[in-house]
Structure 1
């Protein structure tokens, strides 16, 4: 009898959201991997079980096909490159944090890199459940609740009365 499918959470970019995702995610059975190109930020992320500079550094990880990729900062200049690289790998789900009222900068960044519109459409934004989250831990709870609902074939939200 096999156990549950492995849960890998790839947090792209170090920061408060990524740290909260790792902490709460560990309690939910996720193994968190940090993708952070800045060596100083990567080295300071003591909460990361594994920290790498790029998605390519995860090639060969047999659990990558079950991974959920969450880009935790939509203001970084290399956003498109990390998303392009995630889209080129066998991951389960990809999303970017951000304001749902404006188009995400990932759309233009991916188009500029020649990523096909069908692949751009695979990137979820906004992510998580609509709970009005503002802080890193709130965004992490919202995101992880949404990922759990998706993995379990549910929409999320309250049970019908």
Structure 2
């Protein structure tokens, strides 16, 4: 019997502890995962043994309407450019990690690039279920649970 690849695709942008945990756990819950690290000086090298793809920019990530994109850091200087590129795709969902009690730096970065407010509103923040997550693995679990709930039309969602 020929295996059929799941259309569920998680793109974790930025090689970080949260990004690594998202990819590792995402594979376990049925996502095809891609890790994107646009800064080659931060790249840790080849794909990990748990089956993820590793690319240098979002355009190589094969984004479709089944793709969820998560920026795993909020303080990187390239967040505006990466989010603008993500918003130009047909990704199902786009989010960025961050403290829900502070305005995200992505807002100013996107406005500076001329992205209209209605497009900026497509970027979810905070992300994940509100479970009080603190560690990279907890953030990944909360994010994946929220993505699964959202994808399945369940009330777990992202309400804070």
What TM-score do you get using the length of structure 1 for normalisation? 0.88
Report matched runs for 1:104-123 at 5 Å.
Answer: 104-123=104-123
Name the CA distance, whole Å, in 1 between partners of 2:108 and 2:138. 28
CA apart distance, 1:43 = 4.1
Any gaps of 5 or more consecutive residues in structure 2? none
- 1:104-148, CA deviations, whole angstroms, 9 ceiling, x for partnerless residues? 001000000000100000000000000110100000000000000
User: Offset of 1:64 from its aligned partner?
Assistant: 2.2
Single out whichever of 84-93 and 3-12 deviates more from structure 2.
3-12
Q: 1:67 is matched with which residue?
A: 67
Aligned to 1:135: 135
List structure 1 segments (4+ residues) > 6 angstroms apart after TM superposition: none
Residue of structure 2 in register with 1:145 after alignment: 145
Aligned to 2:101: 101
CA RMSD of aligned residues (A): 1.8
Unaligned regions of 5+ residues in structure 1, if any? none
Q: Give the C-alpha shift of residue 21 in structure 1.
A: 0.5
Q: Normalization by structure 2: what TM-score?
A: 0.88
Is the 2:22–2:140 Cα contact (8 Å) retained in structure 1?
Answer: yes
Match of 2:52 in 1: 49
Give CA deviations for 1:38-90 in whole Å, capped at 9, x if unaligned.
224334363372122211223xx3x6221000000000000000000000001
* CA apart distance, 1:4: 8.9
CA distance in 1, matches of 2:6, 2:121: 25
Q: 1:5 to 1:23 in 2, by over 3 A?
A: closer
Which shifted more, 30-39 or 85-94? 30-39
